[in-house]
Structure 1
Amino acid sequence: MTALSAVAPIPQDVLLEARALSFYRLDEPVFGPLDFCLRAGEVALVEGDNGSGKTTLLRILAGLLHIDEGELQWRGQPWRREEHLGDTLFLGHHLGLKSDLSARENLAVAAGTYGVRDGGSIEGVLVDIGLSGYEDEPVRRLSAGQKKRAALARLLLLPATLWLLDEPYANLDRTGIELVNRLLADHASRGGAALVTSHGAVSFLGGEPKRVRMHA
């Protein structure tokens, strides 16, 4: 592989950069080589056919899968997942909720692990996310849309800079979709960034999103 040492320094506002990133499964390429960068304030739509590796990319960035080839940098330094546990937040198809705990209790567990963003509180987040009156219901008793909101509540509470959202609009009605768009817009306005996969039409930030195209 070509040496990367001669690459010019990346601008200060670049949070994440992938260079010739590739992933294999059973020695067969899933995607790559992939090059992209994500700057502070950017929301990017990860595009590709089914099986092109969209979810795999997010799972790599969440530290759940290894990199086979290429390089990842975070704020101009080599990406080391163990050093950036609080910098990223992954929301996948499996929502990561403990079904016997309430939304309030699930948020308390997450906050105990990753901390709380400045000015954030569990009570305030539950109101903002639309779960007033359901705060103490076991998650298993919530509807699919309410469970999704309970998972999305972590976006409001935790101080992560990079959001990795795999199909965040699934199981949400129009009001829920607008909520996700508002969360993304607010996050970007604070200098955060997000990578988003979606099978449906995406209109977040009121315009055309940046795009990361997956290819094998």
Structure 2
Amino acid sequence: MSGPEPHILLYARDLSVARGDRVLIEQLSLKLVAGERLLLRGRNGAGKTSLLETLAGVRAPALGGVERLATLVWVGHRNGLNPGLSAEENLGFWCKLNDLPDTGVADALKRMGLVGRSRSRPSRLLSTGQKRRAAIARLIVSPARLWLIDEPLAGLDVEALPLVADLLAAHEARGGAAILTTHQALPDRVAPHRIIDL
């Protein structure tokens, strides 16, 4: 006798995604369940980011629809940091914007390896990897069950890989799920449960 069916967090039905007058993806259907890690994989320009934006509700679909059955947090590949604010200020502002308490900001940045001056200097002075760490820290302070992450390892150094892998594993163990994009192979520690090639 099989166990209960996993809780579905997101449905996409007959989804078509376009950029301008160019259709990138046609009639894609997918579902994401609790505890799952889904990878959207494809070459540059295949529509990975556009699809992720559509799943997140940032971009309207050309056709079809998306049903989100859980709260989500979106981390784009551009990080979304105000260059004049520190990592701490950026994360605090993001919390306020999303009606979340900012009490976990310092701990989230510490877990991502941003301590001391790297936490308090303007983001424009941070390295590419430090900016990415600051953006990923949003995942720690958010209670959202659905994580959508565009190119999660872009700009990160080797030391950050276990941090991201541990975050994903802990999130999925709590009943969360994640959709990632990449045009490269992911290391074993961040390997997906399922892949959709675009």
Same fold (TM over 0.5): yes
SS in 2 for 1:31: strand
Q: Alignment length, in residue pairs? A: 193
| Residues 16 and 72, structure 1, Cα contact 8 Å, conserved in 2 | yes
Give the drift of 1:174: 1.0
> What residue in structure 2 maps to residue 131 of structure 1?
114
CA distance in structure 1 between the partners assigned to 2:175 and 2:72 by the alignment? 14
Which residue type is aligned with residue 92 of structure 1?
Answer: G
Q: Work out whether 1:95 is the aligned partner of 2:79.
A: yes
Which residue number corresponds to residue 6 of structure 1? none
Corresponding residue to 1:173 among 157, 161, 167: 157
User: Are the equivalent residues in 2 in contact too, given 1:185–1:205 (CA < 8 A)?
Assistant: no
Shift in CA distance, 94/213, structure 1 to aligned 2, threshold 3 Å: same
> Are 1:21 and 1:33, in contact at CA under 8 Å, matched by a contact in 2?
yes
1:185–1:204 CA contact under 8 A, matched in 2: no
Which residue identity is paired with 1:124?
Answer: D
How do 1:116-195 residues align onto structure 2 when only pairs under 5 Å count? 116=100, 121-133=104-116, 134-195=118-179
Pairwise CA distance, 1:192: 1.0
Cα deviation, 1:149-182, whole Å, max 9, x if unaligned, reads 1111111112222111111101111111221111
Q: Does the C-alpha gap of structure 1 residues 206 and 151 become closer, same or farther in structure 2, counting only changes over 3 Å?
A: closer
Match of 1:68 in 2: 62
Contact 2:38 2:192 in 1 (8 A): no
CA contact (8 A) 1:88 1:161 kept: yes
* Cα deviation 1:16-59 (Å, max 9, x = unaligned): 11111112344432102101110011110102233221110111
Q: Following the alignment from structure 1 to structure 2, what is the Cα–Cα distance between the partners of residues 198 and 207?
A: 11
1:49-70 Cα offsets, whole Å, 9 max, x none, are 3322111011112222111111
Q: From 39, 42, 60, give the equivalent of 1:45.
A: 39
Residue of 5, 17, 22 corresponding to 2:16: 22
Residues 109, 204 of structure 1: CA spacing in aligned structure 2 closer, same or farther, 3 A cutoff? Answer: farther
Matched, 1:58 2:41: no
5+ residue gaps, structure 2: none
Maintained 8 Å contact 1:43/1:193: yes
Q: What TM-score does the superposition give when structure 1 sets the normalisation length?
A: 0.81
TM-score by length of 2: 0.88
Alignment gaps of 5+ in structure 1: 1-10, 76-83
3-state SS of 2:169 partner: helix
Amino acid at match of 1:73: E
What percent of counterpart residues are identical?
A: 40
Deviation at 1:89, TM superposition (A): 1.5
Do 1:181 and 1:204's aligned partners in 2 also have CA atoms closer than 8 Å?
no
Runs of 4+ in 1 over 4 A off after TM superposition: 204-208
The equivalent position to 2:97 in structure 1, one of 102, 113, 116, is: 113
Shift of 1:116: 3.8
C-alpha contact 1:114 1:159 (8 A) present in aligned 2:
no
Q: Secondary structure at the match of 1:191?
A: coil
**Aligned counterparts of 1:102 and 1:113: Cα–Cα separation in 2:** 16
1:198 counterpart residue number:
182
Quote how far apart the aligned CAs of 1:115 are: 3.8
**How well do the aligned residues superpose, as a CA RMSD in angstroms?**
2.1
